[in-house]
Structure 1
């Protein structure tokens, strides 16, 4: 049976986010009593979280056995949670708590593999959207739906196009570039050879091959030299040119990595502000693209982007 979730319910559950982001958060208490059959029990803080899942209406009655395959699918593919609704999150949390009763340590496994963090990230996005819906500004509400942030593997996202932070040669490399080439297969490299490279700030497009995305848009970000050599404008052009190319190919959903913030050394906060500003400007002036996803590798990058997106949506 569906139980209504309010903003307060979500806020109360989000209060436990640090349990999944703080590396020093304590999951277990270790009992010293030698006769204890199960020496590892959950900490007081984590038990409070489990209690809160019940109290905030996230445990519901439904056909649990019939939904097990769907739950496993979402665990193996956390990127799908980016579009999950509240009912799906209720079912997932209910499933995990019920499985814990039959398999001690299940919740710990879901924390270790990052699944609970993915659930919390989706709750954060839903909370932000609901907060904006409380205002009567339809433009803000629409903008929040069009820009979202995801922490995970960009190669696994089921979008029309993913953007590759490429080298000038377009022949692959490390980081996101290497991951995309490995996931797409050798056909991607073969097509890239026909493009004869790409200038910094420009963008070129190829097929996605073995990726879930139909297209890969390759753009070359600037190397950071202190900020006085036009790095900001070159990075902005990466986003503008990628979005323009997406529009030309009738791409509706597109995912960007944090371009230039890896080995190229562009400061993360500065880069995120440029990325969000350029995407926001494009979405305000074009109707073709329905959703832009900023994909982050680290928790610090995710926090930076989610804050930036919310600031733009509320401005």
Structure 2
């Protein structure tokens, strides 16, 4: 299974209409097992990049507003852009607790994975 396929198998999870990212344990939110597993797969596959993600967000302002509809931008995004955007979400969550959960619930992570699936399908069809 390719590295991309390891990620896109989570599409159904992130498209779940009643998606729960966490549960409470003793009054504290605990991230769901599936979300923890997805984060591990992101790391294991090397999908996340080491780069100046804050500077990239400054240059790509459309992705800075988490409530902005990114459908049109993702429609033509390449794999590098998708990797950078996902990295921004994961790294940004370290500094702004709940950021990753927010983009999951807004559907941004599902949209990134759907675009990855589309790219993988195109590469299979047109090697």
TM-score (norm 2): 0.86
1 or 2, which has the higher strand percentage? 1
Query: Runs (4+) of structure 1 moved beyond 4 Å?
Result: none
Distance 1:105 1:126, change over 3 A: same
Q: Does 2:91 match 1:98? A: yes
Distance 1:44 1:71, change over 3 A: farther
The residue that corresponds to 1:122 in the other structure is 115
**Contact 2:7–2:41 (Cα < 8 Å) also in 1:** yes
Mapped partners of 2:47, 2:108: distance in 1:
16
Higher RCO (CA-CA < 8 Å; seq separation 6+): 2
Distance 1:71 1:117, change over 3 A: farther
Structural mapping, 1:241-260, within 5 Å = none
> Could you tell me how far 1:24 is from its partner in structure 2?
4.0
Mapped partners of 1:71, 1:19: distance in 2:
28
Q: Does 2:113 match 1:113? A: no
SS in 2 for 1:40: strand
Mapped partners of 2:86, 2:75: distance in 1:
16
The residue that corresponds to 2:6 in the other structure is 12
**Contact 1:59–1:90 (Cα < 8 Å) also in 2:** yes
Mapped partners of 1:68, 1:29: distance in 2:
30
TM-score (norm 1): 0.37
1 or 2, which has the higher helix percentage? 2
Moved more, 87-96 or 58-67: 58-67
**Contact 1:71–1:92 (Cα < 8 Å) also in 2:** no
Mapped partners of 1:88, 1:98: distance in 2:
15
The residue that corresponds to 1:142 in the other structure is none
Q: How many residues are aligned here?
A: 123
SS in 1 for 2:2: helix
Structure 1: unaligned runs, 5 residues or longer = 1-6, 135-315
Q: Deviations over 1:10-68 (max 9, x none)?
A: 10001111221112443102102x6xxxx012111110001111112211111222112
**Contact 1:18–1:25 (Cα < 8 Å) also in 2:** no
Structural mapping, 1:72-87, within 5 Å = 72-74=61-63, 75=66, 76-78=68-70, 79-87=72-80
SS in 1 for 2:23: strand
**Contact 1:71–1:95 (Cα < 8 Å) also in 2:** no
RMSD: 1.8
Distance 1:49 1:124, change over 3 A: same
The residue that corresponds to 1:21 in the other structure is 15
Q: Does 2:54 match 1:65? A: yes
Q: Does 2:52 match 1:52? A: no
